[in-house]
Structure 1
Amino acid sequence: MRTHSQLLLYFMLSTTVALALSLSSVTDKHALLSLKEKLTNGIPDALPSWNESLHFCEWEGVTCGRRHMRVSVLHLENQNWGGTLGPSLGNLTFLRKLKLSNIDLHGEIPKEVGLLKRLQVLDLSKNKFHGKIPFELTNCTNLQEIILLYNQLTGNVPSWFGSMTQLNKLLLGANNLIPLTLGSLNKLKRIRVDNNNFGSGGSHDLNFLSSLTNCTKLEQLILDGNGFGGVLPYYVGNLSTYLSVLSMAKNQIYGVIPESLGQLINLTEFDMMRNFLEGKIPNSIGKLKNLGRLVLQQNSLSGNITTIGNLTTLFELYLHTNNFEGSIPITLRHCTQLQTFGISTNNLSGDIPDHLFGYLENLINLDLSNNSLTGPLPLGFGNLKHLSLLYLYENKLSGEIPSDLGTCLSLTELILERNFFHGSIPWFLGSLRSLEVLDISNNSFSSTIPLELENLVYLNTLDLSFNNLYGEVPTRGVFSNVSAINSLTGNKNLCGGIPQLKLPPCLKVPAKKHKRTPKEKLILISVIGGVVISVIAFTIVHFLTRKPKRLSSSPSLINGSLRVTYGELHEATNGFSSSNLVGTGSFGSVYKGSLLYFEKPIAVKVLNLETRGAAKSFMVECNALGKMKHRNLVKILTCCSSVDYNGEDFKAIVFEFMPSGNLENLLHGNEDHESRNLNLNFTQRLDIALDVAHALDYLHNDTEQVVVHCDVKPSNVLLDDDGVTHLGDFGVARFLHGATEYSSKNQVISSTIKGTIGYIPPEYGSGGMVSPQGDIYSYGIVLLEMLTGKRPTDNMFYENLSLHKFCKMRIPEGILDVVDSCLLMSFAEDQTQVMENNIKECLVMFAKIGIACSEEFPTQRMLTKDVIVKLLEIKRKLSS
């Protein structure tokens, strides 16, 4: 009987629970439908999936818990419904995350939100909510994040936030709140109460900061744009030792920056832009060894900036519009991570130190405008391969524009106006294919306008006014667009050009014919005869005295001094031992070694001459790399053609050794590294992509003959100690002959070359002609491999699914589904929604480049110049 009674009781309880859960589910469904009516303002086509044909747990933006099938997450964003948040929200009692960002909601935040006692995340940012933050939120004791950015809320920041013991993120910026009661929030890690228009004239001081010293876990404090006045107190140095971001930009803070700032040793960002600070930058700021972003522009600071040189992790430095004086310190060369350096509108003077900027190879933006700098442009600009913006206008600089500026192929804006530059306008400016703005007005240039400027296809603003230019104005390219030529005025002797410029026509002066006298003819004949006799005599002596070819080693002299024999290479690599073996390729093996008279380690590529094509590969690679010099190509030291100890032919190529290995191993690991290198973050992958693009651009556009690499793949992408990428292994490279490259006489049949499966462009597989577009295809596959962490030969790619199609199908919405998980781990976990969206956008842009480069048809693929411009755009966006 007891057993039957227990079973009956269990059945009744189970039925009751099931009925309760069923009723609760119905409650959630009705609550959602009621919410929809309010949220969407009755728009009939909004949220089409919210209908009877689908279970409500499958509706857009709705996530249910597995156990009770109750709504646990409601996440909707980026709509223009213009509705309100209805009181039925309070019936979703299992809700843990409520994210309704940027859907144009208005009205007040309903008090019923206080019924959501399980709520952990409340994000109502980027709407039009007004009124006060409801007191009923105190019932939500599990809240960890409150994000109410960009609304129209009013009143004080509630002091009762301090009772929320789990709260670790409070983002209330861009409202009309008064942030003066923050001290009780001692559990918070992030406080953002910026851009709240509660007053002007600096009527609110910073005394409340003393109470924030109780917030021992505080990591970010952002109080921008709030009208705070008073001095920055000394006890700012007593804030949390975990503090990484301190930002009080756009207030009315005056006085000096206290020395105690140096106590915040974990600070990565310090932003005091647009205040009234004065005095010098404190020496203690040099103790902030983790500082990456320093923004002090638009204040009244003075003195020199020598102490900045101690900030070796700095990547953004903004010092515009202050009263800094003295010269640019050479100590800045220690800031090797610097990407943006701006110190315009100050009182700097003296020459720019020679070679200073040669150390700052990561610079993207450099603004030294509106100072009193003198002297010529220094050496070292040639190292700035990523430089995009160069502003030097309104100084007292002089001399000619140095030729190494012509290697800054990523420049988009070059502004040199109002200086004392003279000489000719350099023809090499026409090689800066990414240039969009060129302003050299108000200088003393005296020459004709070089025709090479017609090649700048992206140039949309050109100002050459007020110089001493003369001669005919070109008519093509930017010169065909009168709206793009800002001005040519102030150059009295220009002529021609398009009719809209209204310049006088150029006079055609006939060339005078010069008749040589009999005496001149006799001298000319004698000179030519002497040269012919000398050449014949030299040839005879050469053939009589030359030694047999195989008597000794005959290394090719590449760098002008290094000569090696087989014996020296044998000793350098420990007898070509397996312990020195670092890799194998199509035509041979590569060994690490060291020569007594060469300070750096070397890599020796020993050709396997039994392999068909190896000897030809040796000649191709020696000829290719011997003639080419570029920062992003592997540097060849010498070639050795000799005999070994057994009297057999021996051929080897000697390179500088790349200690950081190749991209293949960094992405996928190797036998020596079982786990993958998780430290290769997106910025580093972006730099690698840029370096390889620069190398290909050089091969395809800047050599005497067009060079097609024919085997671009991760194992041929090598990194040195400084993180600079080098493209190597030119064993199957092909030379094309300029304008005749597509004639039948000069074409190279792709079936005769060796490539690597997965990276070979489809046209090569069908016997198509070798072309630069083939390299672009391989490069695009490498980009997608860097993005996804998957090889193009991965087992998941079969039949009609390729790496290219896999990525193309999933962008932009599914970008996070394809991105390498190791890459995602490198991003900071605690990001704002704006930063997350920015990163996603950068990833999508990167994926689109890889897809565009690896299109099936060659004519549809991107050009290297366009690739570089797009990658730099991503880099600027990522750094912002």
Structure 2
Amino acid sequence: MGSRRLFLLLAFNALMLLEAYRFTDKTDRQALLEFKSQVSEDKRVFLSSWNQSFPLCSWEGVTCGRKHKRVTSLDLRGLQLGGVISPSIGNLSFLTYLDLSNNSFGGTIPQEVGNLFRLEYLDMGINYLGGGIPASLSNCSRLLDLDLFSNPLGRGVPSELGSLTNLVSLNFRENNLKGKLPTSLGNLTSLIRASFGGNNMEGEIPDDVARLSQMMILELSFNQFSGVFPPAIYNMSSLENLYMAFNHFSGRLRPDFGILLPNLQELNMGGNFFTGSIPTTLSNISTLQKVGLNDNNLTGSIPTFEKVPNLQWLLLRSNSLGSYSFGDLDFISSLTNCTQLEKLGLGGNRLGGDFPISITNLSVELTDLLLENNHISGRIPQEIGNLLGLQTLGLRENMLSGPLPTSLGNLLGLGVLDLSSNKLSGVIPSTIGNLTRLQKLRLSNNIFEGTIPPSLGNCSELLHLEIGYNKLNGTIPKEIMQLSHLLTLSMPSNSISGTLPNDVGRLQNLVRLSISDNKLSGELSQTLGNCLSMEEIYLQGNSFDGIIPNIKGLVGVKRVDMSNNHFSGSIPGYFENFSKLEYLNLSINNFEGSVPTKGKFQNSTVVLVYGNKNLCGGIKELKLKPCIAQEPPMGTKHPSLLKKVAIGVSESFNQLSSAGVRGTIGYAAPEYGMGGQPSIHGDVYSFGVLVLEMFTGKRPTNELFEGSFTLHSYTKSALPERVLDIADKSILHNGLRVGFPVVECLKVIFDVGLRCCEESPTNRLATSEAAKELISIRERFFKTRRTARR
């Protein structure tokens, strides 16, 4: 028998030598050149060494055996190669290692890969390969590691792969696989790691996998697997990591769960339909580090974890744990032994009782504390500031009461603070301003009072500020307008007064502005039109007045509510061009004139304008009176008052160039006569002269003005008592009653003109202020006239 074995061994070696010499390295060279020819042309530069001038074994990514100089390893990972994988790859018959991962190969995995019977390592992960997993891979009987991660392969897992009995690691994650797991996988008794996560596989886990007794890592997450917890898994006592999250598993977990799987380190079974209680034996697994049982239908109490010192994550949110009573949170004290605890997620359960003081003794490593949507009562203890590592604190939708601890300002790494929908009271502590990394602050639906702390301006990374539905008063701090990253500014239903700060336009990333149902007043700042990212504007239920500022640049806006205010003027026609507009409510204001009829104004469910007595026209569904053209009153053909205080005056001011007046006597600023450079201050001076000319009816070159007696001094000497003496008579004979508001408007208009004509450039009125005051005059004029009519 010994001689026969020796003969067979010699014969086999002879055949191997014959094969090696018969194919030689020329076969490998040709196979690789064919492989290169199928690589997309623009990426072949990475294989520039693959040519006849270089020895084969010096080519990029190629390794040869020492004895026969045949290619044994091809490592082309991460070279950004595209194209398809040539079937010639199957001619590299001495290949033991093939890594084409992290490229952009398309097409299919060639069936010829199955010819590589010496192959031990195959990685084609992170490509664009389709066409399914070739059954011919089953011929690669020496395979130890098979990795096809992140390819749109599709189809199912071939049952033939059950013959790869030497396989240690299998990664079919995110391959768009369908169908069931084949029972033949139970033959892979050497498997230590297997991943099928992120596919569309279904059905129950076959009992045959119970034979995979060496399994340490099993991933089944994000599929459509169903049935009870797979009984076969209870036999895998060597399991360290078990991932089954987001499938359709159901039923109860065995009470002896922790005894049968004593070596678990990470357990994630969230997002299923498990029922019953959490096995108390889970707390016997001393090696546990991460536990995820969230998003199930678990009931009962939460076990203690004294014997799990290395616990890092405990995620139990969105179940039905607890009984809405005291004692539900007693297990928290056991977690004080878990010195590495990082995440504690208990939200969306039935946990009752007072906020446990023991929480403040948890690990300083704790980054996430989530207890939202429970029935937790009592106060937040001052010692909450001990949890210095906190990054997320979520306590919303509970029954917490009392003031906010000032020690929250110690949590310098806090990024999310959500305490909304509780019964918290007192003032918002200024120490919140210490949280310079804060991105989300949500305090809505509480009983907070006092003012909004200006220190919030220090939270320079803040994205969402939500403090609505409280009892806050005072004004909106101008410091908030420094939060340039802000996406949401929401403070509705408080008692905030004052106006919207003028520099709101600095919030250029703002998407949602909600300041409705407060006591705000005044005119909206023109800078609102600079918030080009805006999608939602809620201003209803305040006392804002004046015209709607120019916000025609906010073309992405979807919802606007300005109802229940005192806005006046006409409805801007640019709303017609807001293609994304879903809701525009301008009801119960003082708008006047015709309603636009194009674009979104053709839909009465999108645009609401009721409660504006002086509106007319629009589509018939709005049920407004028709607009009737009227002859202007005798003597108004408004240089009329309306035409000089109209919005057009201030707008033409913004467009005014001093080119046309700079060299004209009487209109040029004094500094130009002394060689001064053109500036906006000079334009202001020229505009001021124009205003005085229009309302006095006298040019600055009028023969009346000689020497130091100018249009400026003429006007100034008549104010305030003799305003009617210098006013253009056409204004006084246009059918208007001489008195208020005409006299008062004239006083302010002349004052604006004089302030624009100050001799010193730095003392002149700013362009924005001049425009604002003229617009305000017009609104006061119309408002008083409407009141007089009533």
TM-score band by shorter chain is: 0.5 to 0.7
Structure 1 position 405 matched with structure 2 position 513: no
Structure 2 vs 1, CA of residues 4 and 186 (structure 1 numbering), >3 Å: closer, same or farther? farther
Gaps of 5+ in 2: 11-116, 121-134, 139-152, 176-184, 638-659, 683-790
CA shift for structure 1 position 62: 9.9
For each residue in 1:612-650, what CA deviation from the matched residue of structure 2 results, as whole angstroms up to 9, or x when unmatched? xxxxxxxxxxxxxxxxxxxxxxxxxxxxxxxxxxxxxxx
CA distance in 1, matches of 2:386, 2:7: 70
Which residue of structure 2 aligns with residue 372 of structure 1?
Answer: 495
- Confirm whether residue 395 of structure 1 aligns to residue 518 of structure 2: yes
- 1:545-588: CA deviations, max 9, x gaps? 99xxxxxxx9x999999xxxxxxxxxxxxxxxxxxxxxxxxxxx
Question: Does the aligned pair in 1 maintain the 2:369–2:390 contact within 8 Å?
Answer: yes
Residue matched to 2:546: 423
C-alpha distance in structure 2 between counterparts of 1:49 and 1:111, whole Å: 22
Deviations 1:47-69 (A, max 9, x none): 445255998789954999xx998
- Aligned: 1:123 with 2:247: no
Assess, with a 3 A threshold, how the Cα gap between structure 1 residues 420 and 545 changes in structure 2: closer, same or farther.
Answer: closer
| Aligned partners of 1:235 and 1:260 also within 8 Å | no
Structure 1, 107-116 or 189-198: larger mean CA deviation = 107-116
Residues 46, 71 of structure 1: alpha-carbon distance in 2 compared, 3 angstrom cutoff: farther
Residue 335 of structure 1 is matched in structure 2 by: 459
Counterpart of 2:21?
none
Q: CA deviation at 1:376?
A: 1.1
**Paired residue for 1:443, among 556, 560, 565?**
565
Work out whether residues 125 and 151 of structure 1, in 8 Å CA contact, stay in contact via their aligned partners in 2: yes
Matched, 1:108 2:228: yes
Residues 146 and 187 of structure 1: is their aligned pair in 2 closer, same or farther, counting only changes over 3 Å?
same
**Cα distance in 1, alignment partners of residues 578 and 612 from structure 2:** 22
1:255-404, aligned counterparts within 5 Å?
A: 255-305=378-428, 306-353=430-477, 355-404=478-527
Shift in Å, 1:510: 4.6
| Deviation, structure 1 residue 102 | 3.7
1:186, CA displacement in angstroms?
A: 2.0
Check 1:5–1:350 CA distance in 2 against 1; reply closer, same or farther (3 A cut).
Answer: same
Matched residue type, 1:178: G
Equivalent positions of 1:496-645 (< 5 A) are: 496-510=617-631, 535=664
Q: Which has the larger radius of gyration?
A: 2
Counterpart-to-counterpart distance in 1, 2:174 and 2:577: 54
Match of 2:302 among 180, 183, 187: 180
The match for 2:158 among 42, 50, 69 is 50
Residues 258-313 of structure 1, C-alpha deviations (whole Å, 9 max, x = no match) = 11111111011111111111111111111111111101111111111123122121
Distance 1:449 1:253, change over 3 A: same
User: How is 1:230-249 mapped onto 2 (pairs within 5 angstroms)?
Assistant: 230-249=353-372
- After superposition, the Cα gap between the structure-2 partners of 1:147 and 1:294, relative to the gap in structure 1 and judged at 3 Å, is same
- TM-score, length basis structure 2: 0.58
Contact in 2 for aligned 1:62/1:73 (Cα 8 Å) = no
Deviations 1:217-247 (A, max 9, x none): 1100111122111111222211111111111
Over the matched positions of the two proteins, sequence identity in percent amounts to: 35
Distance 1:62 1:96 in 2: 20
- Secondary structure in 2 aligned to 1:211? helix
Q: Residue 62 and residue 322 in structure 1: after superposition, are their counterparts in 2 closer, same or farther (change >3 A)?
A: closer
Letter in 2 for 1:120: E
The 8 Å contact of residues 202 and 251 in structure 1, kept in 2 or not, is answered as: no
In the alignment, structure 1 residue 209 sits paired with structure 2 residue 329: no
Report the secondary structure of 1:430's partner residue: coil
Which of residues 211, 229, 232 in structure 2 aligns to 1:91?
A: 211
Is the Cα–Cα contact under 8 Å of residues 114 and 137 in structure 1 kept in the other structure?
no
8 Å contact from structure 2 (residues 454, 480) kept in 1: no
Aligned to 2:342: 219
Partners in 1 of 2:360 and 2:312 — Cα distance?
A: 17
Is residue 2:606 matched to residue 1:484?
A: yes
1:168 matched to 2:276: no
- 1:153 match: secondary structure: strand
Residue-pair matches, total: 506
Say which SS state the counterpart of residue 314 (structure 2) adopts: strand
Provide closer, same or farther for how the CA distance between residues 119 and 558 of structure 1 changes in structure 2, counting only shifts above 3 A. farther
Q: Decide whether aligned partners of structure 1 residues 125 and 474 sit closer, same or farther in structure 2, where only a CA change above 3 A counts.
A: same
Are the structure 2 counterparts of residues 76 and 287 from structure 1 closer, same or farther at C-alpha, using a change threshold of 3 Å? closer
Shift in CA distance, 506/60, structure 1 to aligned 2, threshold 3 Å: same
**Residue 158, structure 1, aligned to residue 279, structure 2:** yes
State the distance in 2 between where 1:271 and 1:481 align.
42
Q: Provide closer, same or farther for how the CA distance between residues 464 and 89 of structure 1 changes in structure 2, counting only shifts above 3 A.
A: same
Q: Secondary structure at the match of 1:240?
A: coil
Deviations 1:94-122 (A, max 9, x none): 44432223433332112220233443321
Q: Aligned AA for 1:318?
A: R
Q: What residue ranges of structure 1 are gaps of 5+ in the alignment?
A: 12-17, 30-44, 517-530, 547-553, 562-880
Give the deviation of 1:418 after TM superposition.
0.4
2:283–2:303 contact (8 Å) kept in structure 1:
no
Shift of 1:152: 2.4
Kindly tell me: are residues 4 and 53 of structure 1, through their superposed partners in 2, closer, same or farther at Cα, counting changes over 3 Å?
closer
Say which SS state the counterpart of residue 363 (structure 1) adopts. Answer: coil
TM-fit CA distance, 1:129: 2.3
1:75 aligns with 2:206: no
Mapped contact 2:332–2:359 kept (Cα < 8 A): yes
Cα distance, 1:10 vs structure 2: 11
**1:331, 1:186 → 2: CA distance?**
40
Q: For the Cα contact (< 8 Å) 2:372–2:398, is it kept in 1? A: yes
Tell me the CA shift for residue 159 of structure 1: 3.0
Q: Secondary structure of the equivalent of 1:452?
A: helix
After superposition, the Cα gap between the structure-2 partners of 1:68 and 1:103, relative to the gap in structure 1 and judged at 3 Å, is closer
Q: Which amino acid aligns with 2:204?
A: T
3-state SS of 1:344 partner? coil
User: Residue 601 of structure 2 aligns to which amino acid in structure 1?
Assistant: F
AA aligned opposite 1:420: S
SS at match of 1:375: coil
Q: Supply the distance in 2 between the matched residues of 1:213 and 1:7 (Cα, whole angstroms).
A: 67
Within the alignment, does 1:432 sit opposite 2:554 as a pair? yes
Distance in 1 of aligned mates of 2:174 and 2:583? 50
1:496 Cα offset (Å): 1.3
SS at the partner of 2:354?
coil
Counterpart residue number, 2:775: none
Is the Cα contact below 8 Å between 1:197 and 1:226 reproduced in 2? yes
2:586 is equivalent to residue 464 of structure 1: yes
State how 1:720-759 maps to structure 2 within 5 Å: none
Match for 1:145: what amino acid?
E
SS of the residue corresponding to residue 230 of structure 1 reads strand
Contact kept in structure 2, 1:77 and 1:99, CA below 8 Å: no
Matches within 5 A, 1:772-783: none
Distance 1:250 1:9 in 2: 74
- Say which SS state the counterpart of residue 490 (structure 1) adopts: coil
